[in-house]
Chain A
Amino acid sequence: MSEAISFRFLIDGDDFTSAGNASVQVKKMLRQLNFDAETIRRVSVAMYEGEINMVIHANGGSADVNVWNDRIEVVLADSGPGIPDIDLAMQEGYSTAKDNIRSLGFGAGMGLPNMKRYSDDMKITTELGRGTTVTMSFFVNS
């Protein structure tokens, strides 16, 4: 795989019950491509957190996953409200999730910190009223 294998998913912002399906599919595909269990776990958990964030906070978006032998990249892009203060949003425990979301077990303010911890590199670009793009890179254990 010197050329990347690429996958694209559209994440529905209204459908909470199917949120996470893209991450589950990516997990299956990485398994078929014979990546190690720890890499698969890091990528799929971090992608799921980002996928859920787009559903909860941004009314959906898209996920692009690019896979090389030694590296995996996940790009989550939405046209939601943007993040006013990224440093604040990155703090453990900071959340603007509403009560109905919290009752489902989300809203602990741990998603972005988890994404940062599980990825080897994470970049957030955001513009108020226009949207947010989170790019995560993962180096494959060898």
Chain B
Amino acid sequence: MQGLDLEYMLGLVPVILGYVPLTLGMAAAAMVLALVLAALLAVERVFRVAWLDWAVVLFISFFRGTPLLVQLFLFYYGLPQVLSVLTSIDGVTAAIMGLTLHFSAYMAETIRAAILGVDRSQWEAAQSIGMTQSQMMRRIILPQAARVAAPTLVNYFIDMIKGTSLAFTLGVTEMMGAAQKEAAGSFLYFEAFLVVALIYWAMVELLSQGQAWLETQLNKAYAR
């Protein structure tokens, strides 16, 4: 076995790092959209709006029940054949859409469980003072549920960051794509992909630190 070409790797690091903003940007956009969508889905699941409930159940079941890669291919390569409005969709947008829909299904279940975990007394107190349902959810229930759900939601964000590498398969030149191109010239595939792996690992480690900090903050909240 040959030794690692460390010099090549070091030279590659700044190149790949240049794509980190794209990766984080896709993940952040998808995270924000997925949070909003997931909160709506979760609230629907808690209140079971008659005609909507079966559609939400179906949505969650489908996006949890099929692989992300398959979903991305469906959106990017499949749907434009059926829906002509989607023909102009680019890989980055398709990846963000796919990540949003996929992860919102998981996050909806997390948020739903957190909502149902809020003590009954909190619902009753809110009702007793004459709050409307939306006031009760926005001001009392969701903030308390968010506190419980936050660490799990950060886990999904981490999965999402890793999931952006699949945008490569939609022709997006992100970290993987860049490494692939570099390696095609140098034939140092192992080195190139190792750099990608190390950069992902470093990002996730940093986030895990942030997650631990967040958890201690959340445990301290409401205790003073």
Partners in one complex: no
